[in-house]
């Protein structure tokens, strides 16, 4: 009798263990985060920078056993689509992510026109959207489900132009060579405001996206009798091309970059022609935490140069995942957003970050992070000062 009871207890224990294992497996689910940005063409390093920040943050959680929210464990996965820096592919990707992939959260978009286009889909569906579009029209009280990780020229154009004025006090006119779309036009509006404040004349030279040879626009700018050339918000490929054209035409005055981070692309595309260029970046590659992310980026063999957009994307991703744990949900986007905004400060890889922007956008949905201004010296990027907000 005792022997039979022993066998019964063993069988019961085995069944219980299998049941518990099955329960644990059942509670481990896959959480998809949507992504749309240029993963080809001149802006691909921006797209891969943002994607890398998201995927490296996901990797942190997955390597630690998954994201644990309200008693459940989630394996994190990004679902990326290439928008080619155009609104139509971005909208197609957004629809597919929402209606087929069933995502509740989307990362991207780099192009302002594309970002504004997908907002017409994300906002009515209460999809949390974390884009890197520079237009000021992206954020506002009427767009409650859009938050931005990346500081834009709205924030840093004033201190950058102030720096130019101090470095080159004799400069009277600055030319901005910008893409003729929502991104470039909005940037130029703020550059005019900064020029008025600093007492320097601002001249604009817009070019059409898709232009293969940018020599005519550079030639036109050279005829403008300017003292500083700014390749502005042009994507990395086009920015490098314009620098090469300027050098080939004998331009030896200042070249600057008041736009998205491109330093490694400029070194790759322009080589020695990039020496002396002043640029903005979203992080400092020499900060140990930043350098560590760059090494992880290289290890994953992304088909682009490292880009500092990965740093605020990485920080923002961690803030988002922390907010999910605080809110106790991975799909109630209202609760996740509110939990995110309740995090007043966060120690990011480049320094402290916090929410702001209400004075410009009417809502504190802009993550304020340090910005680093550098100069390419002897073929290497060198940070020369730091802007904090």
Mean pLDDT to the nearest integer, 27-36? 92
CA angle 230, 233, 237 (to 5 degrees): 95
CA 79 distance to own-chain centroid:
16
List of domains in the chain:
26-151+307-369 (3.40.50.2300), 155-281 (3.40.50.2300)
Q: Tell me the C-alpha distance between 213 and 242, whole Å.
A: 9
Residue 261 contacts residue 304 (beta carbons within 8 Å): no
Q: Tell me the C-alpha distance between 253 and 387, whole Å.
A: 25
Label residue 224 by pLDDT band (50, 70, 90): very high
162 CB-contact burial (10 Å; exposed 0-12 / middle 13-18 / buried 19+): middle
User: For all residues of the chain together, what is the average pLDDT?
Assistant: 92
Lowest mean pLDDT among 193-202, 255-264, 306-315: 255-264
Is residue 22 scored above 90 in pLDDT? Answer: no
Lowest mean pLDDT among 25-34, 278-287, 331-340, 345-354: 25-34
Residue 327 confidence (pLDDT)? 98
Mean pLDDT to the nearest integer, 5-17? 49
Residue 21 confidence (pLDDT)? 52
Percent of the chain with pLDDT over 70: 93
Is residue 26 scored above 70 in pLDDT? Answer: no
pTM of the model: 0.89
Per DSSP, the three-state class of 365 is: coil
Residue 10 confidence (pLDDT)? 47
The distance in angstroms from the start CA to the end CA of the chain is 77
Give exposure, 70-83, as e/b (b: 16+ Cβ within 10 Å): eeebbebebbbbbb
**How many C-beta neighbours within 10 Å does residue 384 have?**
13
Residue 16 confidence (pLDDT)? 47
**pLDDT tens digits, one per residue of 102-156:** 999 999 898 899 999 999 999 999 999 999 899 999 999 999 999 999 999 999 9
The 8 Å CB, 24+ separation contacts for 75-79 are 75/28, 75/29, 75/30, 75/31, 76/30, 76/31, 76/33, 76/321, 77/30, 77/31, 77/32, 77/33, 78/32, 78/33, 78/34, 78/35, 78/51, 78/54, 78/107, 79/32, 79/33, 79/34, 79/35, 79/103
Label residue 2 by pLDDT band (50, 70, 90): very low
Residues whose CB is less than 8 angstroms from the CB of residue 184 and which lie 6 or more positions away in sequence, other chains included:
178, 206, 232, 233, 234
Residue 27 confidence (pLDDT)? 64
**pLDDT tens digits, one per residue of 349-389:** 999 999 999 999 999 999 999 999 999 999 999 999 999 99
Q: What are the CA-CA distances from residue 22 to residues 8, 12, 92, 378 (Å)? A: 21, 15, 38, 60
Is residue 93 scored above 80 in pLDDT? Answer: yes
142 CB-contact burial (10 Å; exposed 0-12 / middle 13-18 / buried 19+): exposed
Mean pLDDT to the nearest integer, 231-244? 93
**pLDDT tens digits, one per residue of 315-327:** 999 999 999 999 9
């Amino acid at each position: 009798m005792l022997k039979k009871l022993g066998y019964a207890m063993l069988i019961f224990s085995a069944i219980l263990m299998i049941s518990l294992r099955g329960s644990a497996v059942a509670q481990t689910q896959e959480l998809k985060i949507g992504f749309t940005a240029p993963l080809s063409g001149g802006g691909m390093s921006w797209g891969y920078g943002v994607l890398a920040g998201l995927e490296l943050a996901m990797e942190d959680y997955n390597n630690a056993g998954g994201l644990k929210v309200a008693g459940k464990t989630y394996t994190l996965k990004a679902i990326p689509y290439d928008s080619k820096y155009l609104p139509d592919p971005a909208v197609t990707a957004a629809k597919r992510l929402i209606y087929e992939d069933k995502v509740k959260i989307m990362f991207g978009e780099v192009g302002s026109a594309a970002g504004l286009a997908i907002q017409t889909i994300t906002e009515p569906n209460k999809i949390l959207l974390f884009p890197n579009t520079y237009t000021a029209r992206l954020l506002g009280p009427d767009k409650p489900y859009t938050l931005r990780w990346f500081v834009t020229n709205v924030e840093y154009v004033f201190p950058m132009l102030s720096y130019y004025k101090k470095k080159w006090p004799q400069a009277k006119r600055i030319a901005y060579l910008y893409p003729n779309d929502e991104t470039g036009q909005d940037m130029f509006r703020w550059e005019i405001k900064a020029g008025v404040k600093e007492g320097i004349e601002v001249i604009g030279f817009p070019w059409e996206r898709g232009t293969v040879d940018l020599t005519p626009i550079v030639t036109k700018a050279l005829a403008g009798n300017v003292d500083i050339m700014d390749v502005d918000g042009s994507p990395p490929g086009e920015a490098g091309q314009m620098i090469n054209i300027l050098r080939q035409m004998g331009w030896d005055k200042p070249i600057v970059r008041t736009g998205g981070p491109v330093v490694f692309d400029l070194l790759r595309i322009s080589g020695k022609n990039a020496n002396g260029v002043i640029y903005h970046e979203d992080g400092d590659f020499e900060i140990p935490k930043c350098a560590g992310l760059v090494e992880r980026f290289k290890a994953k063999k992304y088909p682009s140069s490292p880009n500092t957009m990965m740093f605020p994307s990485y920080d923002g991703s961690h803030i988002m995942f922390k907010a999910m744990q605080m809110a106790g949900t991975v799909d109630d986007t209202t609760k996740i957003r509110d939990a995110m905004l309740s995090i007043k400060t966060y120690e990011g890889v480049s320094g402290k970050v916090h929410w702001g922007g209400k004075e410009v956008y009417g809502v504190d949905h802009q993550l304020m992070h340090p910005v680093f201004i550098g100069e390419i010296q002897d073929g290497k990027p060198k940070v020369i000062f730091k802007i904090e907000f």
